């Protein structure tokens, strides 16, 4: 089995996107009473997947960055705000679990590498 | 917007979080129901609504399932949403009180068709349903954490 460096790098990028999303969701929750506020979200995983499915070059995939987008799809309340505290909370929970999943995968990979290093001594 | 939470995106992880999202729709719907119940209780003695010659009419929310067609063509339940707010057609309460400013020519004042006791009972069930959905989310989180710990 070969442990490639790109996999770890991708996991790190996914983790940083999750960190960014955590900040954005916290901002949404903080702005839940602000009239006219539209919730924001981080777009990364799905655009990345689309690019990979379309067969984008390795370089192009490496250049992909998480972006903050304004959510106009969700129906706003009477005051023009479209934040639902329950949904934000759920997303925050999901986001944390995602982060933990990526972290677990990353630590699994580094364990493999350190095993490979230690087995030579 | 295509985010990982949008319905259009269908990553493998999204399927894993389905239960969590269904609970989130229930939380949203129950909170809307609690809002309407609160409005009913607050207006239980409102004898005149601006723009109409009637007292406050009791409102009720109607729930509808969120249905979605899965990849295999089957219809799947993806939670619950508020279908609309309905008005209660039950008759108003009539109280004889000729001195009341909203009394009609017979001296009768119409009071809203809100039964506070019933609203309180509804409030309890809505709150319990809300708490149940929260518990589901917490359990789901714990299960996912357990699964992750197996990888350590």
- Mean of pLDDT values over B7-35: 81
Does residue B62 lie within any of the structural domains?
yes
Does residue B2 lie within any of the structural domains?
no
Contacts of A84 in chain B (CB under 8 A): 28
Does residue B100 lie within any of the structural domains?
yes
| DSSP H stretches of helix in A33-84 | 45-53, 58-63
Does residue B11 lie within any of the structural domains?
no
Residues facing A69 on adjacent strands? A41
Average model confidence (pLDDT) across chain A: 88
Would you call A42 and B3 a contact, using CB atoms and an 8 Å cutoff? yes
Q: Which residue among A69, A72, A94 sits closest to B20, beta carbon to beta carbon?
A: A94
Does residue B126 lie within any of the structural domains?
yes
How many secondary structure helices (H) and strands (E) does chain A include? 4, 2
Would you call A90 and B21 a contact, using CB atoms and an 8 Å cutoff? yes
Domain that holds residue B81: 18-151
CA A14 – CA B11 distance, rounded (Å):
14
Give me the percent of chain B exceeding a pLDDT of 70.
91
Put residue B34 in one of left, alpha, beta given phi > 0 → left and psi -120 to 50 → alpha.
alpha
Does residue B34 lie within any of the structural domains?
yes
Would you call B21 and A98 a contact, using CB atoms and an 8 Å cutoff? no
Read off the pLDDT of residues A79-115 as tens digits, 9 standing for 90 and up. Answer: 999 999 999 999 999 999 999 999 999 998 888 888 8
Number of domains composing chain B: 1
Does residue B133 lie within any of the structural domains?
yes
CA distance A110 to chain B (A): 12
* DSSP 8-class letter at A38: -
Q: Is B50 helix (H, G, I), strand (E, B) or coil?
A: coil
Contact B20, A94 (CB under 8 A): yes
- % helix, strand, coil for chain B, step of 5: 40, 20, 35
Read off the pLDDT of residues A41-76 as tens digits, 9 standing for 90 and up. Answer: 999 988 888 888 888 888 888 888 899 999 888 889
pLDDT-based confidence at A2, cuts 50/70/90? low
Does residue B1 lie within any of the structural domains?
no
Per DSSP (E only), the strands in chain B are 59-69, 75-87, 93-96, 108-111
Q: Which residue among A43, A91, A104 sits closest to B148, beta carbon to beta carbon?
A: A104
Closest residue, chain A, to B142 (C-alpha): A97
Q: How much is the ipTM here?
A: 0.72
């Amino acid at each position: 089995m070969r442990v490639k460096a790109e996999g770890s790098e991708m996991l790190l990028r996914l983790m940083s996107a999750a960190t960014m999303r955590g900040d954005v969701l916290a901002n949404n929750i903080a702005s839940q009473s602000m009239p006219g506020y539209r919730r924001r979200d981080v777009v990364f995983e799905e655009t990345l997947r689309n690019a990979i499915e379309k067969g984008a070059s390795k370089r192009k995939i490496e250049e992909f960055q998480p972006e903050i987008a304004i959510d106009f799809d969700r129906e706003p309340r009477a005051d023009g705000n479209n934040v639902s505290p329950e949904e934000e909370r759920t997303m925050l929970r999901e986001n944390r679990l995602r982060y933990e999943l990526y972290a677990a995968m990353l630590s699994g990979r580094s364990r493999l590498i350190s095993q490979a290093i230690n087995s030579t001594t | 917007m295509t985010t990982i939470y949008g319905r259009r995106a269908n990553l493998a992880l999204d399927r894993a979080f389905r239960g969590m999202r269904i609970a989130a729709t229930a939380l949203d719907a129950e909170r809307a129901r609690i809002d309407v119940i609160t409005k009913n209780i607050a207006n239980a003695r409102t004898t005149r609504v601006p723009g109409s010659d009637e007292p406050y009419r009791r409102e009720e929310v109607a729930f509808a399932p969120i249905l979605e067609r899965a990849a295999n063509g089957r219809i799947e339940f993806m939670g619950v949403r508020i279908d609309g707010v309905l008005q209660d057609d039950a008759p108003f309460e009539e109280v004889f009180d000729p001195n009341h400013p909203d009394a009609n020519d017979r001296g009768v004042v119409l009071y809203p068709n809100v039964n506070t006791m019933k609203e309180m009972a509804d409030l309890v069930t809505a709150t319990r349903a809300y708490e149940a959905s929260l518990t589901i989310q917490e359990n789901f989180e714990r299960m996912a954490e357990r699964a992750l710990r197996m990888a350590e």
